[in-house]
Amino acid sequence: MHERFLIRLKAHPGAREDRLEQKGSDRFEVWVQADAEQGRANAAVLALLAGRLKTDPKRLRIVKGAASPYKIVTVLGMD
């Protein structure tokens, strides 16, 4: 059985630098340089978040808000 948890975040595509701030135990604000076209910003958000969580980006999925700045990401297999 895989454990999972949800993370709420607000994404800011097209930023000057990639940056991530934790706003609570399950909330983040994320700035990425990638544009919000063809899923590039979403991929950059997941990669940055995975790096912070020290997990494989393939374990993260956007379950709500793929086309919105407000997203919910699920993380599989985390303790």
Query: Per-residue pLDDT averaged across 56-78, rounded?
Result: 92
pLDDT per position as a tens digit, 5-39? 889 999 999 999 999 998 888 788 999 999 999 99
- Which residues make Cβ contacts (< 8 Å) with residue 53, sequence separation at least 6? 75, 78
Neighbours of 8 (CB within 10 A): 16
How many domains in the chain?
Answer: 1
Amino acid at 11: A
Supply the CATH number for residue 48's domain.
3.30.1200.10
Kindly tell me if the per-residue pLDDT of 60 is higher than 60: yes
CA 65 to mean position of chain CA atoms: 11
Q: For residue 70, give its domain range.
A: 4-76
Q: Which two tokens stand for residue 72?
A: 């919910």
HSE-up of residue 46 (Cα within 13 Å, Cβ side): 19
